[in-house]
Amino acid sequence: MTAFDFDLFVIGVGSGGVRAARMSAQYGAKVATAEDKFMGGTCVNVGCIPKKLFVYASHYKDDFEEARGYGWQPNTAEFEWNTLLANKNQEIARLNGIYEGLLRNAGVTHFSGRARIKDAHTILIGDREITTEKILIATGGWPTKQDIPGASLMITSNEAFYLEDLPQRALVVGGGYIAVEFAGIFAGLGVKTELAYRGPLFLRGFDDDVRHRVADELDKKGIELAFNASLVAVERQESGGLLATFEDGRQLETDLILAATGRKPAVEDLGLENVKVAQRDNGAIIVDEDYQTSEPNIFALGDVTDRVQLTPVAIEEAMCFASTQFLGQRKVMNYDGIATAVFCQPNIATVGLTEQEARDRYPSISIYRSSFRALKATLSGSQEQSLMKLIVDDETDRVIGIHMVGSEAGEIIQGLAVAMKAGATKAIFDETVGIHPTAAEEFVTMRTSVST
């Protein structure tokens, strides 16, 4: 019999924490969890799920306009923010209940409250002490703001999901996927929107062709793009609005400013000072390939380690952790070939290397690229241009990068990610018969390289 109350105590019940707790319990461990914010973590409450619901909502404006080309007569369509908000909240509450049920049905003991580490084997929740053989930290990340005058007047993505009223004007500050997605959401819902980024082009780390295409498409949708624009101050005006001042002296009057300038590991007030857990300068917990920290019985996974910040990655890390620690079968995650999507409008999806990464890594590559208006646009009148791109290693003929900008890009790239993971060559793509008429068939019909 163990000398501890539990075999495993998981701090944080986001996607990674819940999966680790459930699977560890399934493998025979006595498991407890704790959470002081919301069941399901960032993804369920203030991330992936509500964000995509908002993206769906914001795209109906385009759908209504494009329907005319297909014979549908225009009708008055009025958007009700409160209806969207209430329905979104109802869905999130349903998912919260599902996560709670998953833990309960797995036999996991859950504590509502802030968990703090007293020592390597003791957790404090309020005045209660709980002992555990192993601790897993899965507290995720938290949005940050710039340290500038008036920063408190800005909101983050957390608050954006619970706005009481939709603003008439909005400024989104940042150049990552969250900034680009929310700029599209606000604009699609009828908000006059500007996206300001301190660099020359947003979405750093994505393929350059993708970045340029998205910039072109957002411009078509009426989003004001301000590059090389560093916000230096925010002030409240007598009218109730906000005044944004940029480094070059330009000023912008707006009703709302969303700071989407980054996220940091959520490690504050965890009691890490009481144990020997090494961290990086930004607070990220340092772990090895088994998610073990420098304190042997304390582990961490997901966004709190600040490696690949994606929900499916945290879930797979949790599977590896549980298998290794409680099933007796060591499982190490392979981080190569992780596909991802950005739900801007149009969508981005990508897997593998960018063109620049491929050129840096391989002596000779070939690029296949196609740009076109989708069939639907021929009658709808939409001027949106899709982009599809394959990157091939000339020596092995293997496809090493796949990129897309266009409708349902994530749905299309998911299947191609499997092919790339399996080592598919360009010859196999060429031998594959396309499904016609679809946008996806373009990936198996590109025959001529545009550059080498």
Q: How confident is the model at residue 75 (pLDDT cuts 50, 70, 90)?
A: confident
Cα–Cα distance for residue pair 356/252, rounded to 1 Å: 36
pLDDT at 4 over 90: yes
**pLDDT value at residue 17:** 98
What is the dihedral angle through the alpha carbons of 418, 421, 424, 426, rounded to the nearest 10 degrees? 90
Cα–Cα distance for residue pair 440/152, rounded to 1 Å: 45
112 token code pair? 């509502």
The alpha carbon of residue 237 and the mean position of all alpha carbons in its chain are separated, in whole angstroms, by 34
What percent of the chain stands above pLDDT 90?
A: 97
432 token code pair? 């594959």
* C-alpha neighbours within 13 Å on the C-beta side of residue 159: 16
Average pLDDT of the residues in 33-38: 94
Question: Is the pTM value of this prediction over 0.85?
Answer: yes
- Phi/psi region, residue 366 (left: phi>0; alpha: psi -120 to 50; beta: rest), is beta
Tell me if 301 sits within 8 A of 138, measured CB to CB. Answer: yes
**pLDDT value at residue 430:** 97
294 token code pair? 């420098």
The distance in angstroms from the start CA to the end CA of the chain is 64
Sequence-separated (6 or more) residues with CB below 8 Å from residue 192? 168, 169, 170
Find, among 305, 338, 333, 329, the residue nearest to 14 by Cα.
305
* C-alpha neighbours within 13 Å on the C-beta side of residue 337: 17
Tell me if 6 sits within 8 A of 22, measured CB to CB. Answer: no
For 376-401, write each residue's pLDDT tens digit.
999 999 999 999 999 999 999 999 99
Kind plus residue range of the DSSP H or E element containing 91: helix 81-105
Task: Calculate ∠ Cα 300-89-264, nearest 5°.
Answer: 30
160 token code pair? 């954006």
Average pLDDT of the residues in 410-420: 97
Place of tokens 């590059």: 227
pLDDT at 274 over 50: yes
Domains in the chain with CATH codes: 6-142+264-327 (3.50.50.60), 151-261 (3.50.50.60), 346-444 (3.30.390.30)
**pLDDT value at residue 451:** 83
Tell me if 201 sits within 8 A of 211, measured CB to CB. Answer: yes
Top-confidence residue, 303 or 451: 303
Q: Is 436 a catalytic residue?
A: yes
Cα–Cα distance for residue pair 171/260, rounded to 1 Å: 10
Find, among 207, 253, 198, the residue nearest to 226 by Cα.
198
pLDDT at 76 over 90: no
Tell me if 143 sits within 8 A of 307, measured CB to CB. Answer: no
Query: Taking the CB of residue 110, how many other CB atoms lie within 10 A of it?
Result: 18
pLDDT at 1 over 60: no
For 183-230, write each residue's pLDDT tens digit.
999 999 999 999 999 999 999 999 999 999 999 999 999 999 999 999
327 token code pair? 């099933």
Cα–Cα distance for residue pair 237/239, rounded to 1 Å: 5
Amino acid at 137: I
pLDDT at 127 over 50: yes
For 338-366, write each residue's pLDDT tens digit.
999 999 999 999 999 999 999 999 999 99
Adjacent-strand bridge partners of 115:
125
Query: Taking the CB of residue 444, how many other CB atoms lie within 10 A of it?
Result: 17
> How much of the chain is in helix, strand and coil states, percent to nearest 5?
35, 25, 40
